[in-house]
Amino acid sequence: MLETEIIQGDITQLELDALVNAANNQLWMGAGVAGVIKRAGGGCIEAEAVSKRPAPIGEAVVTTAGRLNARYIIHAVVMGQDLTTNADKIRRATRNSLLRAAEMGIESIAFPALGTGVGGFPVEDCARIMINEVLIYPSEETRLKKVVFALFDKRSYQVFRYEIERRTKPA
């Protein structure tokens, strides 16, 4: 089973192999987590990402991480140009981000709460979906060892912490 950690803070400050960006299918990096990653890591991340567009909703696209203390950015495509998302899009984008990590030989990855900012998806549902995908992921088939959920605000942190404790507490 993968080591999981829930933290409250800025995802761009983490020193891990990969950071996940909540992306739209055109891979523009404007607001929310994408904007924070672009400002901290540099416009080269967005330039590389948009060169790979359009990306199917639910997929994940890998780029370099610019000036960040990570090797890669995995752009989890959770919405289209309408900037809305749903449970299935978040589930598929989470799973495909894990698959891209496996393909790249990544050992550590950080996720934000996908689709809860610009996408407006409920954080409680997001936590349930994303944590489930991580817990059912067949980690023995990959080098991936650690998954961090990096939540910027206190409420999201508390929701994710509750969900992981609920799911991993011994019976």
Q: What is the pLDDT of residues 127-151, one digit of tens each?
A: 999 999 999 998 777 899 999 999 9
74-124: per-residue pLDDT in tens? 999 999 989 899 999 999 999 999 999 999 999 999 999 999 998 999 999
Residue type, 32: G
Please state the CATH superfamily assignment of the domain spanning residues 3-168 in this structure.
Leucine Aminopeptidase, subunit E, domain 1 (3.40.220.10)
This prediction has a pTM of: 0.96
The terminus-to-terminus CA distance of the chain in angstroms comes to 17
Higher pLDDT, 171 or 11: 11
Q: Residue 161: CB partners within 8 Å, gap ≥ 6?
A: 6
Cβ neighbours of 42 (radius 10 Å): 15
Q: CA 168, CA 163: separation in Å to the nearest integer?
A: 9
Please report the pLDDT score of residue 2 as a whole number. Answer: 83
What are the residue ranges spanned by the domains of the chain?
Answer: 3-168
10-34: per-residue pLDDT in tens? 999 999 999 999 999 999 998 889 9
Pair of tokens at residue 40: 């901290």
Q: CA 153, CA 156: separation in Å to the nearest integer?
A: 6
